[in-house]
Amino acid sequence: MMPDVCATDIAIIGAGPAGMAAAVRLAKVGHRPVVFDMNATPGGQIYRQLSELQVSEAVMGKDYARGRELIDAFQRADIDYRPGTRVWWADNDALGTSLGVLEKGQTQHWQARQLILAGGAMERGWPFRGWQLPGVMNAGAAQILLKQGALVPATPPVLAGTGPLLYLLAWQYLRAGIPPSLILDTAPATRYGEVVRQSRRAWFARSYLFKGARMIGALKRAGVPIHQGITTLEAQGDKAVESIGYRHRGQWKTHSTELLLTHFGVTPEPQLARSLGLTHHWHASQQSFVPQRDDTLAVGANLWIAGDGGGIGGAINAEREGQLAALAVLDKIGQGDPEWQRERHALLKARRRDLEARSLLESMFRLPEAWLDDQPEETLVCRCESVSRGELDRAIAQGGAGPNQLKAFTRCGMGPCQGRQCGESVTRLLARRLGWTPEAVGYYHIRPPVHSITLGELATKE
């Protein structure tokens, strides 16, 4: 039996920088938005645990502490904040969006006239041999452990992959007194040429670049070896990681470690946007699909996407997008104020500059397109259903010409993560094999429930 409908004028999904900033801006003019958050405390992934800080700013760095102000404003404002909730179903029409929400083991049916999706990003699933072994973990996951309670590895980890987060975590471990034993970067050493080639963007990106240079400098001074241009990576071991193998300058090398932390960039968390049937395009520079938004961040008549869920722009940009979406909502419901034009222009201008800077970072930390080609047959692409690269290639050879066909042929993407970890890889592999663009290949059809929900939870009325 479906419970009674709870109604709200404005709902926001997610309480990271975008969701918090949108809620605070709306509360400022007297609205009381409902904010659904999967986590137990506000802050999203970037400012996780900042509301009950567990590790010093000296370790985490200034960017983390910066979120404090926004969290304070969010906690002070009159907002209907609902932590520990999961929106598992959404359906949008001219009247608004219907939401299936799971809270404390019970399902609720919500109707929101205006909805801002601020679900953020996730770390990209990036297959390599042995990545399913215990002891392989995402760098972002290791950082979450650090934020939750200064949980640090017992032995020095190896960090591998590419992107700013890889070096940030390495620096944070260094500050915490456990420097990584090795950093393996898949980006070529020539990437610094991009800074010269894209000097205008480099100027906009100067604070990121200086910060990165300072961190890399500190790591090098501490004697942490950094190898660039890594073309292959594998985790080796029986029940858990014992060592890793990698190819550097054409030479195969091994290194003993119990913990391999990898990072291959972040990508919009696609599930709700996909299940709503929103149009997506392949973003060549971000190397991922992003939902199509207009200048006001709208993706529908009463639906907006703010923050990294709409394309990766980082925490500060997400905060601006949250404010922009809030202003767009107010315009939509006839409560806009001409005096806000200046605020909007300033936000849009800052956003343009930040996204320009971002595109330089994207070219510096570009992921190798041919990575999957160089992987052995047995590399798992879908961890949930244990589907290997070889099985997918056999299905393609048998005529599997799209992600949904491969799903039906192999069960790839049919496990509990619902394709979040393998979806992009399947698109990439098909694009390489068929000689199509990722855009032409497309992505899995995503249908609700977008979170696992038990029959008991579905049947329990609030």
Would you say 113 and 8 are in contact if contact means Cβ atoms under 8 Å apart?
Answer: yes
Of the candidates 49, 97, 114, 287, which one interacts with another protein according to CB under 8 A? Answer: 49
Task: Considering only the stretches 141-149, 196-204, 322-330, 363-371, report the one whose residues sit in contact with another protein under the rule CB under 8 A.
Answer: 141-149
Of the candidates 348, 415, 439, 458, which one interacts with another protein according to CB under 8 A? Answer: 415
Shortest distance (Å) from residue 330 CB to another protein = 31
d(CA 157, CA 150): 15
Tokens of 69: 């102000």
Q: Which residues of 361-398 are buried (b: 16+ CB within 10 A; e: fewer)?
A: bbbbbbbbeebbeebeeebbbbbbbebbbebbbebbee
Tokens of 131: 């990545």
Query: What one-character-per-residue DSSP string does 204-227 give?
Result: HTHHHHHHHHHHHHHHHHTT--EE
Residue 420 within binding range of another protein, rule CB under 8 A: yes
Segment 245 to 304, residues that bind another protein, using CB under 8 A = 258-259, 269
Q: Largest Cα–Cα distance of the chain, in whole Å?
A: 65
Residue 130 within binding range of another protein, rule CB under 8 A: no
Of the candidates 17, 67, 127, 140, which one interacts with another protein according to CB under 8 A? Answer: 140
Would you say 404 and 449 are in contact if contact means Cβ atoms under 8 Å apart?
Answer: no
Task: Considering only the stretches 65-73, 110-118, 179-187, 378-386, report the one whose residues sit in contact with another protein under the rule CB under 8 A.
Answer: 378-386
Of the candidates 57, 91, 93, 132, which one interacts with another protein according to CB under 8 A? Answer: 132
Backbone angles phi, psi at 64, to 5 degrees: -70, -50
Among 124, 171, 172, smallest CA distance to 147 is for 172
Choice between 172 and 302, CB closer to another protein:
172
User: Coil, strand or helix: which one is 337?
Assistant: coil
Residue 390 within binding range of another protein, rule CB under 8 A: no
Shortest distance (Å) from residue 447 CB to another protein = 16
- Give the ranges where 67-163 is alpha helix by DSSP (H): 67-76, 139-149
Shortest distance (Å) from residue 286 CB to another protein = 18
Of the candidates 72, 452, 461, 462, which one interacts with another protein according to CB under 8 A? Answer: 452
Task: Considering only the stretches 52-60, 90-98, 203-211, 351-359, report the one whose residues sit in contact with another protein under the rule CB under 8 A.
Answer: 52-60
Task: Considering only the stretches 71-79, 158-166, 196-204, 381-389, report the one whose residues sit in contact with another protein under the rule CB under 8 A.
Answer: 381-389
For the window 77-116, what string marks contact with another protein as x by the rule CB under 8 A?
-------x--------------------------------
Of the candidates 122, 182, 305, 412, which one interacts with another protein according to CB under 8 A? Answer: 122
Among 329, 268, 270, smallest CA distance to 303 is for 329
> CA dist 210 to 204, 219, 238, Å?
12, 14, 41
Shortest distance (Å) from residue 105 CB to another protein = 8
Backbone angles phi, psi at 141, to 5 degrees: -65, -40
Contact positions toward another protein, by CB under 8 A? 38-40, 45, 49, 52-56, 84, 122-123, 125, 132-138, 140-141, 144-145, 148-149, 151, 154, 239-241, 258-259, 269, 383-384, 386, 415-417, 420-421, 452
